[in-house]
Amino acid sequence: MGVRKFTGAMVCMLLVISATGQDLHFSQWFNSPLTTNPANTGFIPDADYRIGANYRNQYSTVMTVPYKTMSIFGDAQVMRERITNGWIGVGGVILRDVAGTGKLTSTKVYGSLAYHQMLGLSSLLSAGFNAGYVNKRINTSELKFPDQFDGKFFDNHIPTDAVITTPSVSYMDVQAGLNYAYFPTENIYLNGGFSVHHLNRPRESFFTDDLPGQESRISPRYIGFANASIKLNEMFIVNPMAYYTMQAKASELVAGGTVHYNLSGDGETQLIGGLFMRPGDAVVPMVGFMWQNIRLTFSYDATTSSLKNYNGGRGAYEFSIIRNGFYSEYMGDRQQSLCPQFNR
């Protein structure tokens, strides 16, 4: 391993150790709706149900084993015929993350439930929660500790005082959130939401007892977001958006937007372009393609922080695919919020 890659790997290892309680995340947070806010469950302005998948690969230029985050999700609207101007959203999401040489593996399975109520003809209020099972495990045989360094290399045959007593931990996890949408005209759509994750503050530690000065319970994570969809004409729809999250002493801001271009003229085929920024961290360009009810997007995190000295600016890349669908019995009679669309 070269000096630069070794140094970068050590930097990333320190980041993992210091952020044990930090959550998995995607730069395309808007394409992972159920992990952003459980109130997004069944909040599908342009469809009745959706299924999707996300994949993120990070630190491949500085880590022997890059960080890989994957998720699949699905949600749907139900009981629309039983609730006056409202409905229930049901869904679920599975996440899996593998990080670093020690293969720190996280598996999360959540079920989500939300209630959506129209307020008049141009507003929608939503509230939701999810609960699920989380497992984290680590391959201790692949780990190397400071007292195993012989001056030139890390030697696993050298005994270490670091003892991980519980290489696999599991716990229950709970989130809750609110969402509000305002759509005064068919060409303007505004939306914002707030959620709190880890409401039950589960304990997460690979040690039987807490280490000195360490808190093994996961800190609550707060997420707020706002976005808009504005139809400029029959060729362009723009979507400015922003996302902010805070957990313990860590925070992240992502701001930017996307533009949809009506490639086919009837709105069935669209080109998507986007640009986002995480101030002090990365610039994230995005490209995508939409055909009928299937949307595929790709984004790339170009590092702008000091980490670029080790990864050459090549931070991460992400893929997202989402398919929206309609119930045949509801086609043409959707009494709910609607996003701007081409040829409406």
User: How far apart (Å, rounded) are the C-alpha atoms in residues 50 and 34?
Assistant: 11
At residue 219, the pLDDT reads 92
Domain of 26: which CATH number?
A: 2.40.160.40
Output the CA torsion 161→165→171→175 (10° steps).
0
Residue 166: inside a domain: yes
Element counts in the chain: helices (H) and strands (E): 3, 14
Residue 342: inside a domain: no
CB 187 within 8 Å of CB 231: yes
Q: Which amino acid is at 215?
A: E
Residue 321: inside a domain: yes
Assign 3-state DSSP to the chain and report helix, strand, coil percentages, each to 5: 10, 50, 40
CB 302 within 8 Å of CB 315: yes
Residue 212: inside a domain: yes
3-state DSSP assignment of residue 161: coil
- Residues 207-233 have pLDDT tens digits of 777 666 667 889 999 999 999 999 999
Output the CA torsion 137→322→272→307 (10° steps).
0
At residue 9, the pLDDT reads 38
The alpha carbons of the chain give a radius of gyration, in whole angstroms, of 22
Q: Which domain holds residue 286?
A: 3-326
Residue 331: inside a domain: no
User: 333: exposed, middle or buried (C-beta count within 10 Å: 0-12, 13-18, 19+)?
Assistant: exposed
Residue 337: inside a domain: no
Residue 278: inside a domain: yes
- Residues 28-63 have pLDDT tens digits of 999 999 999 999 999 998 889 999 999 999 866 655
Residue 339: inside a domain: no
**Residue ranges for the chain with pLDDT beneath 70:** 1-22, 59-65, 100-102, 141-163, 210-214, 307-308, 310-313, 329-337, 344
Residue 148 is classified by DSSP as G
pTM, full prediction? 0.85
- Per-residue tokens: 190: 């505004």
Domain total of the chain:
1
User: How far apart (Å, rounded) are the C-alpha atoms in residues 87 and 128?
Assistant: 12
At residue 192, the pLDDT reads 97
At residue 144, the pLDDT reads 66
At residue 206, the pLDDT reads 78
For 195-209, give the DSSP string: EEE-TT--B--SSSS
